[in-house]
């Protein structure tokens, strides 16, 4: 961009028809204008197209007359203004110093109130909204804002505000750095219980022995972070003494996958992701879910069995919060994948370290202790909504999931 040349911003609006963009570009080319930026959106049937370009001062008026003549021919409205070098230099979109982020709103139907409150919050933190696009297909269920900022920002405070706002307006709001690694993730790791499946496996195993309520109470305390996980697991496994393989089969037969789990895994595999399941539950269930979904690897605790019955002991080492994080790191290293390119998804306190280790940690229908610490918190009914956080559009999802 030359400080000596006039910089012109032209915006045309009107009915969307073929040939508008090519015609405008042809006029710029004919007058040797140098294109600096372009943006176009269509909300049928109306198109809005903006062109930013610089031009020799002697050619400015003739170029504008040619653009106006083309717009009259195409029944378009044209407005323009000349910008100063200072205006452009101070705008985050043109500054290499700007920090850039993606803000994703997801709901059954994103209300105008949610968009207003999010935009208001971003403006208060001096963010500029560079682009807005609807990612969902056919309905306004997901909208993505690409934003930038030239000023120091307390990102932790902003995330806290957006999390509180998310609960207030009933819309999931994800805030992520916008850069190479957002769309370039290569591995995803899942918790099992209350994440890939809709129940807690250990509680259902206890149900077979008539001990569901006492085990579920301990599970609840452990997942909320109010109890040491290793101790809670030993207490619960003791209650499973005498459990038979037939009873394990019965529990597996009634397990329900979380809605969207099959679609999500299928899409991720089509995108070339490596997938893994790291569970604080039990391998007798985790391995079957791994096989059912086509997940690459599974790690979980192992019940000690003797003569076809559980002894009430768990094999060591226990897959606890620390072990989950270690396994994620070991998997990434074995696959040659940087941690920045790993996603982790979970719901309980024992998933916290795993989510912190990953480049993107997603709390899915999570307990408060995890929801407040994760990079993103989702309350959607379907796991497939995770794909929106990767910047995938509804149309792209339809291609992946025919």
* Residues involved in catalysis: 191, 193
Q: How far is CA 231 from CA 89, 221, 226, 238, in A?
A: 59, 11, 12, 11
For residue 1 the two structure tokens come to 């961009």
For tokens 């916290």, the residue is: 352
C-alpha neighbours within 13 Å on the C-beta side of residue 17: 9
C-alpha neighbours within 13 Å on the C-beta side of residue 1: 18
How far apart, in whole angstroms, are the C-alpha atoms of residue 158 and residue 164?
Answer: 10
Three-state secondary structure along 338-370? CHHHEEEEECCHHHHHHHHHCCEEEEECCCHHH
Q: Which residues of 248-266 are buried (b: 16+ CB within 10 A; e: fewer)?
A: beebbeebeebebbbbbbe
Q: How far is CA 46 from CA 14, 39, 41, 132, in A?
A: 5, 14, 9, 16
- DSSP assignment string, 65-90: HHHHHHHHHTT-EEEEEEEPHHHHHT
Torsion of CA 89, 156, 352, 103, to 10 degrees: -50
Burial of 157 (0-12, 13-18, 19+ CB in 10 A): exposed
Judge contact between 361 and 355, C-beta under 8 A. Answer: yes
Burial of 144 (0-12, 13-18, 19+ CB in 10 A): buried
How far apart, in whole angstroms, are the C-alpha atoms of residue 38 and residue 43?
Answer: 17
30-38 LR contacts (CB < 8 Å, sep 24+): 30/66, 31/55, 31/59, 31/62, 31/63, 31/66, 32/56, 32/59, 33/8, 33/59, 33/63, 34/5, 36/1, 36/7, 37/93
């Amino acid at each position: 961009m030359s400080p000596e040349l006039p910089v012109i911003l032209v915006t045309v609006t009107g009915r969307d028809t073929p040939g508008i963009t090519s015609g405008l570009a042809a006029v710029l080319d004919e007058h040797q204008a140098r294109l600096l930026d372009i943006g176009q959106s269509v909300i049928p049937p109306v198109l809005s197209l903006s062109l930013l370009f610089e031009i020799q001062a002697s050619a400015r008026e003739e170029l504008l007359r040619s653009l106006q003549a083309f717009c009259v021919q195409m029944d378009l409205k044209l407005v323009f203004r000349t910008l100063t070098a200072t205006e452009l230099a101070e705008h985050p979109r043109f500054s290499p110093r700007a920090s850039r982020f993606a803000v994703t709103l997801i709901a059954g139907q994103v209300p105008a109130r949610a968009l207003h409150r999010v935009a208001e919050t971003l403006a208060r933190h001096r963010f500029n909204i560079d682009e807005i696009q609807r990612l969902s297909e056919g309905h306004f269920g997901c909208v993505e804002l690409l934003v930038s900022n030239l000023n120091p920002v307390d990102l932790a405070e902003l995330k806290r505000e957006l999390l509180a706002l998310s609960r207030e307006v009933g819309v999931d709001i994800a805030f992520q750095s916008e850069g190479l690694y957002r769309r370039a993730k290569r591995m995803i790791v899942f918790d099992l219980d209350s994440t890939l499946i809709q129940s807690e496996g250990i509680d259902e195993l206890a149900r077979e022995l008539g001990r569901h309520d006492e085990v579920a109470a301990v599970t609840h305390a452990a997942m909320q972070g109010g109890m040491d996980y290793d101790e809670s697991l030993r207490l619960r496994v003791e209650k499973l003494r005498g459990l038979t393989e037939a009873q394990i089969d019965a529990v597996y037969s009634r397990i329900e996958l979380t809605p969207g789990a099959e679609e999500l895994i299928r899409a991720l595999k089509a995108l070339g992701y490596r997938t893994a399941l790291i569970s604080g539950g039990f391998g007798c269930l985790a391995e079957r879910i791994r096989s059912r979904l086509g997940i690459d690897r599974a790690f979980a605790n192992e019940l000690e069995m003797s003569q076809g019955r559980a002894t009430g002991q768990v094999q060591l080492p226990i897959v606890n919060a620390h072990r989950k994080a270690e396994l994620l790191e070991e998997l990434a290293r074995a696959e040659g994948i940087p941690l920045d390119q790993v996603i982790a998804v979970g719901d309980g306190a024992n998933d916290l370290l795993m989510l912190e280790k990953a480049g993107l940690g997603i709390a899915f229908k999570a307990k408060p202790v995890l929801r407040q610490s994760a990079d993103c918190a989702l309350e959607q009914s379907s796991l497939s909504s995770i794909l929106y956080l990767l910047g995938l559009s509804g149309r792209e999802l339809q291609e992946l999931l025919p």
